Amino acid sequence: MNHYAVQGGKIAGVCLAGFLLVVLAHLLTASAIERRGEREIYEHLGALAPGRAFGLYTPVSGNEPVLGFYPAWYGPEKTESYIVAVQGTGYRGPLSLLVHCAADGEILAARLLDNQEIPGMGKTAENHDYMNKFLGTGAAKPVPLEPRDLPPQDAEAVCGVSITFGGIARAIEKAAAFIKAGGGR
């Protein structure tokens, strides 16, 4: 019986040492990982709205799929547009997007970030040209929600990935509606 207690104590000691090493590694790397994530977000913001300055991220609750927004401006701190973080649903799960909207809700740019879509299919939405289908919509012109709402050449480009297209389109539409309704002000 005493032998088992000694062996159990040794195993518990090894487990405790392993746990402490994992905690130490987390403490040493967590802030670096967080800084890297923030740097990547600001790189995306700069690509979506070149030449603008950005305010702090403001989280939004109760307005799914809108997660939050960044105010954006040129020159003196007069907000002229917003970058809205939204989450849509694609063929293989959540689609994280940043959508640059003018103050009236017009879509100025959009970018698909984190997603699990299939390479060569839904992943094509990561290409800059893919999001051009939505530019200029959201204010006076409705956001295209179905491939049939697009010009023929664009509808052909989303053929076979209509679930991904629909998830992105609905998320972009919600971002525009949020800003049109006064979100961010």
Residue 74 — φ and ψ, nearest 5°?
Answer: -100, 155
Please tell me the pTM assigned to this model: 0.78
pLDDT of residue 178: 95
CA distance 121 to 131: 15
d(CA 166, CA 160): 12
Distances in whole angstroms, Cα of residue 64 to Cα of each of 119, 142, 144, 153: 27, 19, 19, 31
pLDDT > 60? residue 53: yes
Residue-wise pLDDT for 77-131, tens only, equals: 677 899 999 998 888 888 889 999 999 999 999 998 877 776 767 767 777 788 8
Inform me whether the pLDDT recorded for 174 exceeds 90: yes
Q: With 80 as the cut, is the pLDDT of residue 159 above it?
A: no
Q: Is the pLDDT of residue 36 over 60?
A: no
Whether 37 shows a pLDDT value over 60: the answer reads no
Candidates 85, 80, 79, 71; CA nearest to 37 is: 85
Residue that the structure tokens 């989303």 belong to? 158
